[in-house]
Amino acid sequence: MNRQEQLKKLQTTTEFDICIIGGGATGAGIALDAVMRGLKVMLIDKNDFAAQTSSKSTKLIHGGVRYLEQAVKKLDWEQYKMVRKALREREILLQNAPHLSRPLALLTPCFNFIEGVYYTIGMKMYEWIAGSQNIAKSEWLSKKTALKLIPELKSKKMSSAVLYYDGQLDDARYCLALLQTAEDKGATILNYTQAIKFNKNEDTGRLKSLIVKDLINQTDLTINAKVFINATGPFADSIRTMASSKLKPRIKVSRGAHIVLPRSVMQGDTAILVPKTDDGRVIFMIPWQDQVLVGTTDEADELSETPKLEDYEKTYLLEYVNRYLDKNVTPDQVKSGFAGLRPLLQAQLQSAMNSDTKSLVRDHEVEIDRRSKLVSIMGGKWTTYRIMAKDTLDEVYREVFKKETVKCTTEHQVLFGGENYRFEDWQNLVNQYQISEIVAKHLLKKYGVNAKKVLELTVNQPVLKELLNPEHPFIKAEIKYVIQSEMAQTIDDVLERRLGFRLRDESASKAVEPYVKEILGENFN
């Protein structure tokens, strides 16, 4: 994707069928679904793609063990249906981007016989709901077997453990792959393009165009579209009130924090699920790209564009790391961390209208404003992005276009970089480009079959094969590639979302910022 080419497409298109505001997972999913239904699609985001919630997740593709527990305890059919849908979508996410996702084994420590029975029954129910989409059978393990999987577990009080399976994804790059696939099929995609003002039909009040500011070139542009779709996650209410000042707020935000620890803290490939903290939350400790990702917290928060990881959140998460692992992990061992905001749809039922964000159902709703015809998709979670996109477009056809719905066909659409992907091809990359096994495997997991395009940059410039840091597998060619081919515009775009370097090691990533700045300057001056 090239930003200048996308700008030209926008400027030469008289009218789009739909304009999507928001380049996170939901907006990206809608863009791909819509273009595959034959619609002329425009998508904008005022920041980078997946800059907010969609890159701040726990990196899990899951049905939601906690939601299943609530469904059973409260006999809640809606929670049950949400788990069932998410488990089906889990398989689809795994199959459509094999380079960016993978199955993950998770272990839940048990401290008495009753807990072992309880969690075993729960996980068996989880896999029964998954049916043919189940990844692997759950098991009730002895303490000895559990310690073979995770030797670092604090074993003194542990009596057994339950093993089950979910999925894991590179969230920021998965979102990018959705957008790359949509663009490849004809969609127009622009980051750093801010919605400023809607123009309306004077008689009907219906939205007819959107004035936007290109924040890179500091110019105003007009997007004409038949339908405008608001997919801005936690910020949905701001676009809703831009379209109609009479609309009342619908979104409540929950804050989630994560920390990243060195791999030495937990060296196996199995994750840990802490099923219930003292305050009723769930915490995961997950092997993640040669580090360990720990999260998340869950508390009500105010809307902010730049939520920061707080010291008390580090302390809270480290308390559970040290409670469950036979380690003494200190704050100075935290390699990086982040905080993000989750959009929670305020439930209509009075029982859910309280200050406890953990009790709100993370499902979604499509709202169509009667007068302006603004379509807003609100709520949801990463795993169900495709269902959210489908539901949104089905409603657009039914309620706005007023015509028969064109079928959604994204279920089996392999995403950009995943076509004919074989992880075993790392050996070919080693032989062809004379790189290390570690670098070859890293590039395949990050770019899929496009790893070769990254390495082609090194043919005439062997210096681009050099590591950015001796402790990490990133090479200089990646910087050039993501700027030229993945619309990275800033240092954060490059190091945080395209490479994921900052997430792995914040201090080491800061040391390469001058080099990134230099390459950005070469490409944009």
Residue 131 has pLDDT above 90, yes or no: no
Overall average pLDDT of the 209-213 stretch: 97
Residue 72 is predicted with a pLDDT of 74
Q: What's the CATH number where 132 sits?
A: 3.30.9.10
Name the percent of the chain lying above pLDDT 70. Answer: 96
Overall average pLDDT of the 390-419 stretch: 95
DSSP 292-360: EEEE---EE----SS----HHHHHHHHHHHHHHBSS---GGG--EEEEEEEEEE--SSGGG-SS-GGGS
> pLDDT tens digits, residue range 248-264?
888 888 899 999 999 99
Residue 525 to residue 518: CA distance in whole angstroms: 11
Residue 28 is predicted with a pLDDT of 98
Asked whether residue 116 is assigned to any structural domain, the reply reads yes
Residue 199 has pLDDT above 90, yes or no: yes
Residue 361 has pLDDT above 80, yes or no: no
Residue 96 is predicted with a pLDDT of 97
Residue 358 has pLDDT above 70, yes or no: no
> pLDDT tens digits, residue range 27-79?
999 999 999 999 999 999 999 999 999 999 999 998 877 777 777 777 767 77
**Is the Cβ–Cβ distance between 447 and 151 less than 8 Å?**
no
Residues 264 and 135 in one domain: yes
Residue 111 is predicted with a pLDDT of 93
**Backbone CA torsion sign across 232, 234, 235, 238:** positive
Residues 430 and 517 in one domain: yes
Number of domains observed in the structure of the chain: 3
First CA to last CA across the chain, in angstroms? 18
Nearest to 342, CA basis, from 394, 388, 298, 386: 298
The last residue of one of the domains, among 299, 330, 361, is 330
Range of the domain at 432: 423-524
Residue spans of alpha helices (H) in 396-496: 426-433, 437-447, 451-456, 476-485, 491-492
Residues 394 and 516 in one domain: no
Residues 257 and 244 in one domain: no
> pLDDT tens digits, residue range 135-162?
889 899 999 999 999 999 998 889 999 9
Cα dihedral 112, 118, 121, 126 in deg (nearest 10): -120
C-alpha distances (whole Å) from 424 to each of 187, 320, 478 are 32, 37, 21
Residue 357 has pLDDT above 50, yes or no: no
> pLDDT tens digits, residue range 368-382?
999 999 999 998 889
Confidence of residue 349 (pLDDT cuts 50, 70, 90): very low
Residue 80 is predicted with a pLDDT of 79
Q: Write phi, then psi, for 123 (nearest 5 degrees).
A: -70, -35
> What average pLDDT does the structure give for the chain?
91
Asked whether residue 112 is assigned to any structural domain, the reply reads yes
Residue 176 is predicted with a pLDDT of 98
Residues 441 and 473 in one domain: yes
